[in-house]
Amino acid sequence: MSFRHQYVIGDLQGCYGAYQQLLKALDFDPKQDKLWFTGDLVARGEDSLATLRDVKVLCETGAAATVLGNHDLNLLAVWLGATKMKKKDKTAPIFAADDKNELLNWLRHQPLLAYPDAHTVLVHAGIPPHWSIVQAADYARQLEGQLQGSLKQLGRLLPHLYSKSADNWHAGINGFTKMRAIANYFTRMRLCQQDGGLEFTFTSGLDQVIPTGYLPWFAWQVPRERKILFGHWAALKGTIDLPHARALDGGCVWGNYLLAYRLGDGKVITSSAHCPKP
């Protein structure tokens, strides 16, 4: 299908008001346009339930698509009792909703990696330097298969996706350790070593001192056949625009704004509204 415009929108985080305002700024028409979301549809914003419902409807009609972020995986983990709801998250209304199971079953069937067009690839956090995009797509499918299996299988997986320390990637990695590492690269990564070693404590902008031996994942010089579009790193405020990588989390939930990146010409449209402060 040919679209008038396609836009990639950074982390919504449940910022429903800013999201609706951005759609107006885009003059979005679901019959002519398509939206792509970087994941983290829910969490800290004022209305995660309305946001999740809206995105689900758009995706089911073909007017949108999304990848999974760390907050989306956390929502699934809370649903199945694998972890407790975080105090800062405002997702309780989702679990009180009549359509809770329908929403969360839909969410777990969303991908970790998608191709918005012939020149780009979409993920939540990034793709590490030791993976090609082809390899990343294969690893994404492996974890997606686990997320989309039976609820019993999902319930076994989710408790193993959380660890305060990162797993080293190696040729023999397997089982839940491998699934956790894949989830960490796609949904939690900011800094890494050239061999993929992750650092989880640094969440600041690039004007702060970066731990020795690490670089932002996109700073490692790796040839890429597609531009990687990503969210997750709110402190970047969407300022990173490289030939091989584009940051799109504008940090709306932290008092900044949502960003929409128009495929084709790379124009960025910014919401005029941000998420209400707690």
180-208 pLDDT, tens per residue?
A: 999 999 999 999 999 999 999 999 999 99
Q: Is the dihedral of CA 229, 234, 235, 239 positive or negative?
A: positive
> 190 in a domain, yes or no?
yes
Four-point Cα dihedral 32, 37, 42, 48, nearest 10:
-10
Q: What is the pLDDT of residues 239-278, one digit of tens each?
A: 999 999 999 999 999 999 999 999 999 999 999 887 876 5
The single-letter DSSP state of residue 235 is G
Residue in the structure block whose two tokens are 């995105």: 55
Domain count along the chain: 1
Position 1 in a domain: no
Which CATH number fits the domain that encloses residue 13?
A: 3.60.21.10
Q: Is the CB of residue 142 less than 8 Å from the CB of residue 179?
A: yes
Q: What's the mean pLDDT when you consider all of the chain? A: 96
- The structure tokens listed for 229 are 């579009």
| β-bridge partners, 245 | 228, 242
On the question of pLDDT at 173 being above 70, the answer is yes
| pTM for the whole structure | 0.97
User: Which token pair is 123?
Assistant: 């993920």
Position 31 in a domain: yes
Residue 211 maps to a domain: yes
**Cβ-Cβ contacts under 8 Å for 231 (sequence gap 6 or more):** 10, 11, 38, 39, 40, 69, 124, 125, 247, 248, 249
Residue 277 lies in a domain: no
Strands, E assignment, 138-199: 191-192, 198-199
pLDDT per position as a tens digit, 32-79: 999 999 999 999 999 999 999 999 999 999 999 999 999 999 999 999
- Residue at 29 is within a domain: yes
Residue 76 lies in a domain: yes
Domain of 187 in residue numbering reads as 6-270
